[in-house]
Structure 1
Amino acid sequence: MIYNLQILRAFAAIMVFFYHSEIYWKDILPSTWFFGLGLAGVDIFFVLSGFIMAATTASRDITASSFLSHRIFRVVPLYWIITLFFTFLFLSGFNPVGVTELTPEYFLKSLFFIPFLRSGAAEPIVTVGWTLNYEIFFYLIFSICLLIPRIQLRHPAVAILILITLLPRFFGFQNFYATYYGNPIILEFGFGIACYHCLAWMEKTCEPNRILPFAAAFLALSLVFLLAPAFTFSGTGASSYFSAFVRPFTWGLASFFIVLSAVSLERAGHIWRRFGFIEIGNASYSIYLIHGLMLHGASKVAKILSSDPLTFALVTTIGALVLSIAAGLIMFRYVEAPLNKSLRGSFTRFLAKPSPSTG
């Protein structure tokens, strides 16, 4: 485990939380552009994903089926549980955040990571699940690349396949799926792979005590790229920004340098173990999936407690953040981690079981 990456996961999840809390502050603060920066947490997750996939398969021969099954066991069970819970709430007469309509088609497509338009947006029942559609797409591409016999050829092949998905944009195809999967944000998975190779090169050419200046430079560059679009983007203008190439080449590059800096710092012996951020990072997936529901619930309670706009916003934001982290930690410990371990163990035993022909 690279501890600094777990800490980075924690920060990314909290960033996305604050992005979604902007709605409670926009009528109070004169400007909320800094809330919009929280959306870059998604970009960090994407770069992290590319980096981890490259790092975990670079030095060992892993089969495509083993890789894909492990990723499915990691992502799918908890997502299905949350999707079923949202569906139950909706059918019970409640309105979970982001769910204003529900059909069998929406339900099935949400479960199987098939993008579709709902209320004008390409979002599944669990709204933040749009990122998982891209994650699963990347996993499929990566698993295909694992079929290439020579390990050293796999990661550039993944980058090429990601770039190929952009071709429909240049040829002007109007198909929904071509446009959806051709979103430039998927380049960020490639950035993660490139990040791994940069670090591998640094480890071969630099002594650990010489890495620290590079880490500081990477961190400075990440801040430059993170703040670059600040004057042209606010939290309420995400739709136009999301579809533009500017995102991967600002926030995507910022995430690239943040990941590069985090791993470089750990290689130099600097790990930030304070305030339970490693534990929060472990639970970041659970936190990411449920934070919207926590914000929605906290806002209902805050509305009862106070009619003052500032108090309402503070109670909602702080209360939802505490609830998201607490619930995420509980879900990780008692649901996510045990499920993942059990499914992986079952799959391993299934593969080890001798076939009838071998006795």
Structure 2
Amino acid sequence: MGLVAIAPSFSPAGGASPWQFLAALMITPPLHRPYAEPFLVAEWTLRYEIIFYLLFLVLLKSRSLFVVLTLPVLIAGMVSLSSTTEEPTNFWVAPYFLLFFMGMAGGWAFKSLPIGRPAWLLVLGLAGLIACAWVAYRTDITPLLTVAIGLVSTIVVVGAARAETGRPSALARVFTFLGDASYSIYLVHYPLLSISTKMLMPVTNSPYLAFLIVTGLALAGGIGCHLMVERPLLRRIPRRPPGFGRRAKES
């Protein structure tokens, strides 16, 4: 943000007003059109995540209120499959809300459903991801395709989680570590992809080689951010507020 304030040309949107700066800092939903992320292109996903976190907070307090609040969200997600809206309404009428419910369904399936052969479930999900990638490569990513990607991704997660239950392996530990680092990877991958792509363009004409290099750099940068920034910060945060256990016993 500081870099954009000094040099607006570094902004994906070509600059940022004070209101855009505040909205990006607070990760609020977009309220105007046309809208472009002024600092981090991937921040649009964080704006949905904040809504999901708030809904989970409501769920912890009141299930009935959770149902009341999530019903219009579910309807908006379903409406997005058959209609298009303009900015900023399209933020609220979007298929991404349906992915929220898929995640909840995946968690319930993992804990409650008997899955005899999770490896087959994992293979099915991976095959679905490959099919979705092929469709996305040949066409535009539509709301229906977004939901399909979310569905097969949920199947992959449930199958993989079930497959490794009680049988930890070296590969599982690698993916667990990548999962721990995923948020840092998410935050830094786009700037690293952008910078490394610009640096590689005059060097190589092979898109496959460029893909491998920029992907490796993005992963390495995200993992480095996780190890040097995120993990040390998390160690400084107490797992529970001081006196939490004592107050619970007293109550």
For residue 258 of structure 1, report the CA deviation from its aligned partner.
Answer: 0.5
Q: Which residue of 2 aligns with 1:106?
A: 20
Report which stretch shifted further, 277-286 or 290-299.
277-286
Question: Is the 2:52–2:100 Cα contact (8 Å) retained in structure 1?
Answer: yes
Q: SS of the counterpart of 2:30?
A: coil
- Higher helix proportion (structure 1 or 2): 1
Say if 1:294 and 1:97 are closer, same or farther in 2 by CA, change over 3 A: farther
- Higher mean C-alpha displacement, 90-99 vs 192-201: 90-99
**SS at 1:247's partner residue?**
helix
Residue 124 to residue 142, structure 1, CA distance change in 2 (3 Å) = farther
Partner of 1:52: none
Question: How far apart, CA to CA, are the structure 1 residues paired with 2:71 and 2:145?
Answer: 16
CA distance in structure 1 between the aligned counterparts of 2:37 and 2:208, rounded to whole angstroms: 28
TM-score (norm. length: structure 2): 0.77
Aligned position for 2:99: 188
Gaps of at least 5 residues in structure 1 are 1-86, 149-153, 355-359
Asked if 1 retains the 8 angstrom alpha-carbon contact of 2:8 and 2:14, the reply is: no
Question: What CA distance in whole angstroms lies between the structure 2 residues aligned with 1:328 and 1:280?
Answer: 10
TM-score by length of 1: 0.56
By how many angstroms is 1:174 displaced? 6.7
Tell me: CA distance 1:113–1:284, structure 2 relative to 1, closer, same or farther (3 Å): same
Cα RMSD (Å): 3.7
The CA distance in 1 between the partners of 2:234 and 2:38, in whole Å, is 23
Aligned to 2:120: 217
In the alignment, what sits opposite 2:158?
Answer: 260
Report how many residues are paired.
Answer: 244
Higher relative contact order (CA 8 A, sep 6+): 1
Matches within 5 A, 1:1-359: 87-93=1-7, 95-96=9-10, 98-116=12-30, 120-121=34-35, 123=37, 125-148=39-62, 154=63, 161-168=69-76, 170=79, 179-202=90-113, 211=116, 213=117, 215-229=118-132, 232-234=135-137, 237-238=140-141, 241=142, 244-248=143-147, 250-267=148-165, 269=167, 271-273=169-171, 276-303=174-201, 306=203, 308-310=204-206, 313=207, 316-344=210-238, 348-349=241-242
Task: State the distance in 1 between where 2:91 and 2:211 align.
Answer: 32
Show structure 2 runs of 5+ residues with no match. none
Distance 1:98 1:234, change over 3 A: farther
Aligned residues of 1:106 and 1:116 also touching (Cα < 8 A):
no
Q: Percent identity?
A: 26
User: For the structure 1 residues 96 and 140, does the alpha-carbon distance in structure 2 shift closer, same or farther, using more than 3 Å as the test?
Assistant: same
Q: Deviations over 1:137-194 (max 9, x none)?
A: 001011011113xxxxx5x975774342143575999795654233122111211211
